[in-house]
Amino acid sequence: MTEAETKRERAAPDAMTLLEHLAELRRRIIICAIAFTLAAIVGYIEYSRVLTFLRRPLCHADPRDCTLYVTGPLEGFGVHLDVAGYGGLALAAPVILFQLWRFVTPGLKASEKRYAIPFVVATLLLFATGVTIAWFTFPHALGFLKAASGSGIQEILSPQKYLNLLLALMALFGLTFEFPVVLVGLELAGVLTTRQLRKFRRGAIIIIVITSGVLTPSSDPFSMLAMAVPMLLFYEAAIIIGRLMKR
């Protein structure tokens, strides 16, 4: 056996020892850390452009005054670091996800990869869709919250609270849009059936609406409807997909 064949044999998941798996994991983590660091440096350098982009929902909600105010000498630098971190994570996300995929897929069988690839693609697309909807919903949420405070109250928004609310809304929408993937996964695992989902449709509608109202960080009707309506559609889509997979 040649040296190249020996390396290929040792690289096989079933032939790797625990230490070799840990070494492989360490290598993937180091690559992800380097990618994030480089991307965060880019985010730090392009701080002004990134912050201007993140302020767009606020400027759309109130074009006359979309200024963010800091209340301490260190808060401005902290916002600079936060924006660099958020931007770095967004830029490095493709590299991080690819490294995670490369670490997991060698241990999957061919039949498992057949299901894994569509699930991964659907997960990424649904998460991106949720983030996008949250982005376009956020200006309406800000307008509602400002109107709810009354005419005698002047808002002074801090960058950290504004960014935390925006990112929390985007992350929540991204995660809740994974709802159909979870349902289809449960159907594949035999935990749920399409018949059970059809019978529980009315209860699911009530639970989805209540959950959307409770989980929405801004607590405004626009965000609640923007979350509840797609989840109801996803519920019906999961039933249809379950029928097709059963056939």
Nearest CA-CA partner of 122 in 81, 179, 84? 179
Enumerate the H helices of the chain as residue ranges.
Answer: 3-11, 18-45, 47-54, 56-61, 75-104, 110-149, 159-176, 179-188, 194-199, 201-215, 221-246
Q: Quick one: pLDDT at residue 31?
A: 94
- Helix axis angle, 159-176 to 47-54, nearest 10°: 70
Q: Where are the domains of the chain?
A: 11-107, 110-247
Contacts 24+ apart (CB under 8 A), 223-227: 223/134, 223/137, 223/138, 223/140, 223/141, 223/169, 226/133, 226/134, 226/137, 226/173, 227/172, 227/173, 227/176
Contacts 24+ apart (CB under 8 A), 164-168: 165/217, 165/218, 166/54, 166/57, 166/138, 167/86, 168/217
Cα-atom radius of gyration of the chain, to the nearest Å?
23
Angle at 207 between CA 205 and CA 208, to 5 degrees: 65
Would you give the distance in Å from CA 241 to the centre of its chain? 23
Nearest CA-CA partner of 95 in 164, 15, 30, 159? 30
What one-character-per-residue DSSP string does 142-177 give?
Answer: HHHHHHHH-TT------HHHHHHHHHHHHHHHHHHT
Q: What is the pLDDT along the chain (247 residues), one digit of tens a residue?
A: 454 444 444 455 556 677 787 888 899 999 999 999 999 999 999 998 888 888 898 888 877 778 888 888 888 898 899 889 888 888 898 898 888 888 877 766 776 677 777 888 888 899 999 999 989 988 888 888 777 777 777 778 888 888 888 888 888 898 888 888 888 888 877 788 888 888 888 898 999 989 888 888 767 788 888 888 998 998 898 888 878 876 6
Q: Quick one: pLDDT at residue 14?
A: 55
Exposure string of 210-220, with b = 16+ CB inside 10 Å and e = fewer, is eebbeebbbeb
Q: Quick one: pLDDT at residue 39?
A: 93
Classified as helix, coil or strand, 69 is: coil
* Predicted TM-score (pTM) of this structure: 0.77
